[in-house]
Amino acid sequence: MKNIAVIGAGTMGNGIAHVFAQSGYKVNLIDISQESLDRGIATITKNLDRMLSKGKIEETDKAKTLTNINTFTELSKGIPNTDLVVEAATEKLEIKLSLFKEMDAISGPNTILATNTSSISITQIAAVTGKPDKVIGMHFMNPVPIMKLVEIIRGYNTSEDTTKAIMDLSLKLGKTPTEVNDYPGFVANRILMPMINEAIETLYHGVAGVEEIDTVMKLGMAHPMGPLQLADFIGLDVCLSILNVMYDGFKNPKYAPCPLLVNMVMANKLGVKSGEGFYDYTISKKAEKVSDQFK
């Protein structure tokens, strides 16, 4: 594989594009908005500058990485002649199904179609394509340039060849691929999201305050970030979406999202990206500090 298309220039998409480009792959970064693409490239540049200041890369590495990325606002221009397409769009089933139908129609017969979904069924996504054997989950962790894990999720029809190709590719990116099967939430979020939801329930029932809950988990369980702060970093809307996928998939009440989480999302208190969640990011530089914990 030499040519990669990444769909979505948001937090995950620009991180995925960054990692591929830094590893020497030619990347077509695609988004419907040129403004989003510009923000994505600005984020990649900022992250490269941070790595440069810490002596992790040279100036030539930064230049080569940015040169390896081209931007497009149309799938029909960015996907043809690529070996792999990684979808990193909004975590909404209808959006992903629509994208995969289009991706399938304009990609080559041997192009692997991957999704960065953190919870949605790979089998269901693959079913709308004509090559379900070449559809796979490639779930990167945030922030992508730093975190080593990639969950590789096999759909019901994903072939052995496709799985091996993506496992090998992940290793070439300097990541640690871990193969899991296709069940709601996979492994990472099936374990993480109930913990975050329980932390929200603990707050909702008045057992302790936000900082107290996070302090217990950081100092008592050696977590680098408390669950409520982590939820802010992930995005409360994303947390709610994943919990709903698991609740719908398993029909088990333990995955039902806390009413406090539902209300906060309805009130647009989404965490770092909205400026307020369990913590207030509008008064201080807390959002930057949160991000810097991973860099």
Q: List active site positions.
A: 118, 139, 151, 189
Candidates 189, 179, 182; CA nearest to 227 is 189
Contacts of 37 (CB under 8 A, 6+ apart): 9, 29, 31, 71, 73
Residue 9 has φ and ψ, to the nearest 5°, of: -105, 15
DSSP state, 147? -
Q: What is the largest CA-CA distance in the chain?
A: 56
CA 165/CA 114 separation, integer angstroms: 12
Q: Is 237 annotated as a binding residue?
A: no
Q: Is 130 annotated as a binding residue?
A: no
Contacts of 104 (CB under 8 A, 6+ apart): 113, 128, 129, 130, 131
Amino acid at 121: S
Amino acid at 270: L
Q: Is 96 annotated as a binding residue?
A: yes
Q: How far is CA 108 from CA 8, 24, 188, 255, in A?
A: 20, 22, 31, 39
Q: Which two tokens stand for residue 234?
A: 């992930």
Q: Is 8 annotated as a binding residue?
A: yes
Candidates 128, 131, 190, 184; CA nearest to 157 is 131
Q: Provide the edge-to-edge strand list for the sheet that holds 84-87.
A: 69-72, 26-30, 3-7, 84-87, 112-115, 135-140, 149-154, 176-181
C-beta separation of 19 from 144 below 8 A: yes
Q: Is 31 annotated as a binding residue?
A: yes
Q: Is 11 annotated as a binding residue?
A: yes
- State the residue for tokens 């807390």: 286
CA 87/CA 106 separation, integer angstroms: 14
Candidates 219, 149, 229, 220; CA nearest to 196 is 229
Q: Is 273 annotated as a binding residue?
A: yes
User: Annotated binding site for NAD(+), which residues?
Assistant: 8-13, 31, 91, 96, 118, 142, 273
Write out the binding residues: 8-13, 31, 91, 96, 118, 142, 273
